[in-house]
Structure formats: C-alpha cells, structure tokens
Amino acid sequence: MDVDEHQMNSSLTMRAIGSKYVLSCCASFVAESVTYPLDVIKTRLQMLPNRMEITKSDLQPPTMLRTTWHILKSENFRSLFSGLTPAIYRHLIYTGFRMGIYETMRFAIFDKEKQKIFPIWQSAICGLVSGAVAQFLASPTDLIKVQMQAKRLRKSDNVQPRFPNSYHVFVVLYKSNGFTGLWTGWLPNTQRAALLNMADLATYDFTKHWLIAKGCLDNYYTHFIASLVSGMAAAVISTPADVVKTRIMVQLRSSDEKLTHQYKGSYDCLKRICREEGFFALYKGFVPSYVRSAPWSLVFWITYERMRQIFDISGF
C-alpha cells in the first residue's frame, strides 16, 4: 500500500513537472512570436560596428527608429522575423528547463513551502543556476538564430549571405567547426542567461509574492506589475552581456571565409568595447531590449499564469 502510494505521488510529481514544462514552452512561443521583431532590431544595433567594417560607410548615430526604418527600407517586413524558427526551437529547451529547474530548486533545495517567505537572495541563486544550465543546453539554437538575423543584414550590404536557412546554418557550422563548434559563444551566452534569469525570475517571484503579502490578489493586475518590474531588471542586468554575446557569436564564419576573428573571447570583447567605444556602448540596444523584455515578460507571465489556472496548477 505504501509502495503504491509512493508511486502515485511520484507519478503526480512527474506529471506536474511535465505539465509545467509544456505550458512554459507554449507561453514562451506566444511571447517570442509577438515581440520577435524587437529582438532583431536589438541585435542589429549591437552588431553595428561589424556592419561599419563591412560597408565602410558613414552612418548616423544608430537609434531604434533609424534601425527599424533601415530594415524596412533596404530589406522587407519579413526581415523583422528572420531567425524566428530557431528562436522557437530554442525555447523548447531554454524556457522549459529554466522554469523547471527554478521551481525544483525553489522547493527541493530551499523548501519554499515551509519558509512561506522566499528571500530574494535564494531566488537569485535559483535564477542564476537555472538560467546558466538552460542556456548552455540551448546554446546551439541561439547561435543559429543570431546567424540567421545577420543573414539579411549582409544581403542588404551586398555581401553574400553565409546561410540560406536554419538547417544550412547547422550543417555548415557542424562541418566547419565540428560538434563543439555549435557551442561557440556559449560562455558569454550562459553568463547573459544567468544574469537575465537572476533578474527576471527572482524579481518576478519576489515582486508578485510581496504584492500578494501586501493584500493584492493573485490576478492579472499583480502579474502585470510584477512582469514590468522583472522586464526592467532583466534589461538593465543582461544588456552588457548580451552585447558581448552578440559580438562573439556573429563573428563566427565558415571555413571558406578568410576574415579573422575580431575578438579573442568574452573578456577581450568586453575590454575592447569599453576602451574603443566607451562604457555605454555596452548598453547599445538597451531601449529595444527593454521595449521587448517588458512586453515579452508581460505576455509570457500572464499567458503562463493563466494556463496554470486552466490546468488547475497552483500559481508560480
């Protein structure tokens, strides 16, 4: 009898974990599709020094609006969704694992159920670990996404695109750099994800339950406020690492290209950006980053929380 009860409890636990995994992926698909053009604009802004090297042209100081207008004028509307497919694939791994690991750590390691109040430092640790592990696993899909976003930029500058589609990116990079080459840029990628999740998950978790403790209901209004706060925190914390990540990943070339790498690694990239472009160059793309992260968080959290209610799963 005890064995049967234990097996039943284990099954329910695994079912809950599986349900949360699927629901978090579905919510991320919705959020990613709605806000993806802003991610393309942000990436273009962060890639601008590379573009200047290619075109040797005299450009006005980049802004979100100028970059958007340039994409629409020199390319087309579809360019704003270039790389969406690998971005969706990425969330099958990234979001599913980061949410699952965070909640597992929150209850299994820090025993939130008994503590009632979950300290912000414990939330931060859960966010760091879950973000780092999830992003390391999803790093190849992020590499493919960045390469696809760079494709149309090269085409608009009359430079032969490296890859026609996502599958070709995978094949060429695998043949040119080997299996481990698919993890090019994994370190800045993982660093950024760890910081982003420390800010995003911890801030949302803390803000939501703080508001509830102050008398707010666990409803759309509470989720709305918590998601806006987490979106701002995520943008402030993660943008410098995002700039470094983008510069490192976009310089990867197939073996038939003779251009050399501009940066030796994450630290070299960070140091040279600060020295040659100034500290605030690390916040290139901050506006579209926040403009995207705020609605992304809003859409994701409201969708995810609502889905959990529909399937009779307690709130995050």
DSSP calls for 153-175:
HHHHTT---S-SSHHHHHHHHHH
Say which residue, 208 or 50, is predicted with more confidence: 208
Please determine, for residue 75, whether its predicted confidence score (pLDDT) is greater than 70: yes
Out of 25-29, 64-68, 209-213, give the one with best mean pLDDT.
25-29
pLDDT attached to residue 92:
93
Task: Single out the residue of 163, 195, 166 nearest to residue 266, CA to CA.
Answer: 195
pLDDT attached to residue 293:
81
User: What is the rounded distance in angstroms from the CA atom of residue 162 to the CA atom of residue 150?
Assistant: 9
Please determine, for residue 2, whether its predicted confidence score (pLDDT) is greater than 70: no
What residue type is assigned to position 80 of the chain? L
Q: Tokens representing 188?
A: 């800045």
Confidence of residue 131 (pLDDT cuts 50, 70, 90): very high
Say which residue, 239 or 92, is predicted with more confidence: 92
Please determine, for residue 16, whether its predicted confidence score (pLDDT) is greater than 90: no
Out of 10-24, 50-64, 297-311, give the one with best mean pLDDT.
297-311
pLDDT attached to residue 113:
66
CA 88 vs CA 25, 27, 93, 200, 243: distances in Å: 9, 11, 9, 19, 21
198, 102 Cβ separation under 8 angstroms: no
pLDDT attached to residue 1:
45
pLDDT attached to residue 9:
45
Domains annotated on the chain, with CATH: 2-310 (1.50.40.10)
Average predicted confidence (pLDDT) for the chain: 81
pLDDT attached to residue 255:
44
Please determine, for residue 63, whether its predicted confidence score (pLDDT) is greater than 80: no
**pTM exceeds cut of 0.85:** no
Which stretch of 143-157, 162-176, 177-191, 262-276 has the lowest confidence by average pLDDT? 143-157
The residues near 281 (Cβ < 8 Å, ≥ 6 apart) are 243, 273, 274
Render pLDDT for 291-316 as a digit per residue (tens, 0 to 9): 778 888 899 999 999 999 999 888 88
Backbone angles phi, psi at 83, to 5 degrees: 95, 5
pLDDT attached to residue 50:
47
Confidence of residue 184 (pLDDT cuts 50, 70, 90): confident
Render pLDDT for 214-233 as a digit per residue (tens, 0 to 9): 999 999 999 999 999 998 89
